[in-house]
Structure 1
Amino acid sequence: MDERSISAELLRLCNKVQQEFPTPTIGEEKWFLLILSALTSAGKPGLAADFYLHLIEQPQYSSFQARQQLMRRLREALVKAVSIIGVCRPLEAIMCIDAVTAEGDKERTCSREGWRADDENHRRGTDWLMKLYGDNLKQIDEIFNNQRDFGWISREITYGLYLSDHTILDGAETELVVLSGIMAQDLPKMVGWHLRACRRIGFSMEDCEAIQRCIELCIEFAGVHLGPMPKVKDIEHEV
Structure 2
Amino acid sequence: MSNNDANESLKDLCARVKSILPEQFRDDAWYLIVASVLVGCGKPSELGELYTLLVEGVSDAEEKRIKDRLSDVLMKEWTLVGIPLVVYAVSALGKAEQARLEKRGVKLESEVSEDGLLPFPEKRKNLDLDKAIPDRGTKFLQRLYRENLAPISASWGSYANDFMWMERAVIYGLFLSDHEVLSAVEAELVILSSIMTQGLAAPIIWHLRGLRRLGVSEEDTELVQQAVEAVTVWSGRSVDGWPRVKDVPDDI
TM-score of the two chains, using structure 1 as the length reference: 0.89
Asked if 1:229 is matched to 2:242, the reply is: yes
1:158 is aligned to 171
Q: Deviations over 1:65-108 (max 9, x none)?
A: 11011100001001100110111111111111111214459699
The RMSD of aligned alpha carbons is 2.1
Q: Kindly tell me: are residues 119 and 225 of structure 1, through their superposed partners in 2, closer, same or farther at Cα, counting changes over 3 Å?
A: same
Contact 1:128–1:159 (Cα < 8 Å) also in 2:
yes
1:36 is aligned to 35
Moved more, 7-16 or 85-94: 7-16
Asked if 1:83 is matched to 2:79, the reply is: yes
Q: After the TM superposition, which parts of structure 1 deviate over 6 Å for at least 4 consecutive aligned residues? A: 105-109
1:181 is aligned to 194
Shift of residue 224 of structure 1?
0.9
User: Larger Rg: 1 or 2?
Assistant: 2
Distance 1:90 1:33 in 2: 14
Shift of residue 237 of structure 1?
3.8
Distance 2:72 2:34 in 1: 14
Q: Kindly tell me: are residues 155 and 67 of structure 1, through their superposed partners in 2, closer, same or farther at Cα, counting changes over 3 Å?
A: same
Q: Deviations over 1:186-228 (max 9, x none)?
A: 1111000000000000000111010000000010011012341
Q: Kindly tell me: are residues 8 and 216 of structure 1, through their superposed partners in 2, closer, same or farther at Cα, counting changes over 3 Å?
A: closer
1:18 is aligned to 18
2:148 is aligned to 136
Shift of residue 144 of structure 1?
4.5
Q: Secondary structure of the equivalent of 1:95?
A: helix
Distance 2:83 2:21 in 1: 27
In the TM superposition, 1:189-200 aligns within 5 A as 189-200=202-213
Moved more, 62-71 or 190-199: 62-71
Shift of residue 19 of structure 1?
0.5
Q: Kindly tell me: are residues 45 and 176 of structure 1, through their superposed partners in 2, closer, same or farther at Cα, counting changes over 3 Å?
A: same
AA in 2 matched with 1:179: L
Contact 1:126–1:159 (Cα < 8 Å) also in 2:
yes
Q: Deviations over 1:38-91 (max 9, x none)?
A: 01100000100011101111x4xx211110111000010011001101111111
Distance 2:145 2:47 in 1: 31
Contact 1:68–1:105 (Cα < 8 Å) also in 2:
no
Identity of aligned residues (%): 32
2:64 is aligned to 68
Shift of residue 175 of structure 1?
0.6
Q: Kindly tell me: are residues 106 and 224 of structure 1, through their superposed partners in 2, closer, same or farther at Cα, counting changes over 3 Å?
A: farther
Shift of residue 127 of structure 1?
0.4
Contact 2:18–2:26 (Cα < 8 Å) also in 1:
no
1:126 is aligned to 138
Write 1 or 2 for the structure with the bigger share of helix. 1
Number of corresponding residues: 229
AA in 1 matched with 2:92: C
Distance 1:76 1:135 in 2: 29
Q: Kindly tell me: are residues 163 and 11 of structure 1, through their superposed partners in 2, closer, same or farther at Cα, counting changes over 3 Å?
A: same
Q: Kindly tell me: are residues 149 and 187 of structure 1, through their superposed partners in 2, closer, same or farther at Cα, counting changes over 3 Å?
A: same
